[in-house]
């Protein structure tokens, strides 16, 4: 397994795409969170806003970048024909996909930590200027605060799970454009489609199985009782999607010709 991980690490670090995506993940996630922290107002006590979620809103953009990273990690080899060479050199196909998951997950973890820490810091500095002050019931954001720490750690784990979900789907689909369309549709269009149903109970059920809706519930730090699913349980939904995606991708990788 060490040989496969080293090979996958070498492949990803010697092409430009992953580096740009990871750099953009950090910059754009922090920038979007900073903008939100600067413009969302809290004019009086009890304004009902979730300061942590405002600061971490950039994760909703960052998830697209890590999804593209997962697609690039496997579909880039299919588009160039390099996958045949890889599987000839490393015939254990399950180990190859597992190695890709380790490398993609590790890179996303590192970049996600930087992005989330930067977002929390931006929120700590900028939110008071928008009215999120102790006088209004909002102490400065701090990772020493349990709910804030949970929102931050959960956001990093969410990004890692999205990357793995994307890797598994891309392994099954093989085509970059199609795989990106499926993953981004699942993350962005599925939540919009839920709103088209008039039945409240059905919408609630669909909300709890939507990877982005359920997963991002981990960022919520106020009014937890109003959530259709608990924060960590929501992250578990994304983990189930990622596990199913990787399992299906591994099975198809074994059964089909390269």
- Three-state SS string over 108-141 comes to HHHHHHHHHHHHHHHHHHHHHHHCCCHHHCCCCC
What is the reported pLDDT for 126? 95
Burial of 114 (0-12, 13-18, 19+ CB in 10 A): middle
Quick: pLDDT tens for 43-96.
888 788 999 999 999 999 999 999 999 999 888 777 776 777 666 667 687 888
The count of C-alpha atoms lying within 13 angstroms of the C-alpha of 176, restricted to the half-sphere facing its C-beta, is 11
What is the reported pLDDT for 204? 92
Residue with more model confidence, 184 or 91: 184
Tell me what the mean pLDDT of segment 199-219 comes to.
93
Q: How far is CA 143 from CA 27, 88, 157, 207, 224, in A?
A: 21, 47, 16, 28, 19
Q: How far apart are CA 96 and CA 86, in angstroms?
A: 8
Total domains, the chain: 1
**pLDDT at position 119 over 80:** yes
Tell me what the mean pLDDT of segment 127-132 comes to.
92
Residue 57: domain span: 2-255
pTM: 0.94
Q: Average the pLDDT over each of 45-49, 192-196, 215-219 and give the range with the smallest value.
A: 45-49
Give the number of other Cβ atoms within 10 Å of residue 142's Cβ. Answer: 10
What is the reported pLDDT for 258? 60
Highest mean pLDDT, choosing among 15-19, 109-113, 196-200, 223-227: 109-113
Q: How far apart are CA 182 and CA 170, in angstroms?
A: 9
Give the number of other Cβ atoms within 10 Å of residue 144's Cβ. Answer: 7
Token pair 């070498």 is at which residue?
A: 10
Helix (H) or strand (E) holding 225: none
Quick: pLDDT tens for 144-161.
999 999 999 999 999 999
Rg (CA), the chain: 19
Q: How far apart are CA 31 and CA 117, in angstroms?
A: 12
* Residue pair 152/55 in contact by the 8 Å Cβ criterion: no
What is the reported pLDDT for 11? 75
> What tokens were used for 251?
């099975």
What is the reported pLDDT for 34? 96
What is the reported pLDDT for 88? 65
Percent of the chain topping pLDDT 90: 67
- Write the DSSP assignment of 147-201 as a string of letters: HHHHHHHHHHHHHHHHHHHHHHHHHHH--HHHHHHHHHIIIIIHHHHHTT---HH
What is the reported pLDDT for 69? 95
What is the reported pLDDT for 226? 85
Helix (H) or strand (E) holding 232: helix 231-255
145: left (phi over 0), alpha (psi -120 to 50) or beta: beta
Give the number of other Cβ atoms within 10 Å of residue 158's Cβ. Answer: 29
The whole-chain average pLDDT of the chain stands at: 90
What is the reported pLDDT for 38? 94
What is the reported pLDDT for 81? 65
Q: How far apart are CA 56 and CA 118, in angstroms?
A: 9
What is the reported pLDDT for 238? 97
């Amino acid at each position: 397994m060490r040989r496969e991980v080293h090979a996958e690490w070498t492949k990803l670090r010697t092409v430009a795409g992953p580096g740009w995506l990871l750099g953009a993940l950090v910059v754009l996630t922090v920038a979007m969170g900073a903008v939100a922290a600067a413009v969302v107002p809290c004019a009086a006590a009890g304004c009902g806003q979730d300061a942590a979620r405002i600061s971490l809103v950039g994760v909703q953009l960052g998830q697209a970048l890590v999804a593209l990273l997962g697609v690039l990690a496997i579909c880039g080899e299919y588009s160039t024909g390099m996958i045949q060479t890889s599987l000839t050199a490393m015939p254990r196909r399950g180990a190859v996909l597992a190695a890709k998951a380790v490398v993609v997950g590790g890179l996303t973890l590192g970049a996600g930590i930087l992005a989330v820490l930067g977002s929390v810091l931006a929120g700590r500095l900028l939110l008071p200027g928008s009215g999120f002050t102790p006088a209004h019931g909002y102490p400065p954001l701090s990772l020493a605060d349990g709910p804030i720490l949970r929102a931050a750690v959960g956001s990093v784990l969410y990004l890692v799970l999205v990357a793995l979900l994307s890797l598994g789907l891309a392994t099954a689909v093989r085509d970059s454009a199609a795989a990106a369309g499926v993953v981004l549709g699942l993350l962005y269009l599925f939540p919009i489609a839920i709103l088209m149903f008039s039945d409240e109970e059905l919408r609630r059920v669909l909300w709890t199985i939507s990877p982005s809706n359920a997963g991002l519930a981990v960022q919520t730090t106020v009014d937890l009782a109003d959530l259709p699913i608990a924060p960590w349980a929501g992250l578990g939904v994304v983990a189930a999607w990622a596990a199913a995606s990787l399992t299906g991708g591994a099975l198809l990788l074994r059964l089909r010709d390269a």
